[in-house]
Amino acid sequence: MGKFWTLITQLHSLSGPVLTLLYPLYASVMAIESASKLDDEQWLAYWILYSFLTLAEMVLQPVLEWMPFWYDVKLLLVAWLVLPQFKGAAFLYERFVRKHIRKYVTERAHHHSRSPNGGKA
């Protein structure tokens, strides 16, 4: 049982980088090289959301240290974001992030158009 548990622990440790970085990196390159723009959106959305998740982890690190299950929860969340069966990244971006980004871009454009020099420094 000792060797089996060691193997499971090692696989668990490797699954994080493979799921969060290696597979998305590969899929992003393949998306850029494909003719479809749909997969580009999925992977751009993934990298945006993964960046938000990483920044949130950095800020919440003292709290997350007290949650022994955080790494497992994060792996499940990232799996949902990454796996093509779910396309979670595109879903979250479309449903929650896009409207805030568009609002920000619209407000910024409106602010720049009203400045005396047209927003130019």
Looking at residue 119, its pLDDT comes to 54
Write down the domain spans for the chain: 2-94
Question: Is the pLDDT at 121 greater than 60, yes or no?
Answer: no
- The predicted pLDDT at position 118 comes to 56
Q: Is the pLDDT of residue 45 over 80?
A: yes
Cα 27 → chain centroid = 13
In angstroms, the CA 33 to CA 27 distance is 10
Q: Is 37 helix (H, G, I), strand (E, B) or coil?
A: coil
- Cα–Cα distance for residue pair 48/50, rounded to 1 Å: 6
* Banded model confidence at residue 34, pLDDT cuts 50, 70, 90: very high
pLDDT per residue as tens digits for the range 56-111: 999 999 999 999 888 888 889 999 999 989 989 999 988 988 888 888 888 887 77
Overall average pLDDT of the 23-38 stretch: 93
- Give this prediction's pTM: 0.75
Give the span between the Cα atoms of 97 and 60, in whole angstroms.
21
The pLDDT tens digits of the residues spanning 3-28 come to 766 666 666 678 888 889 999 999 99
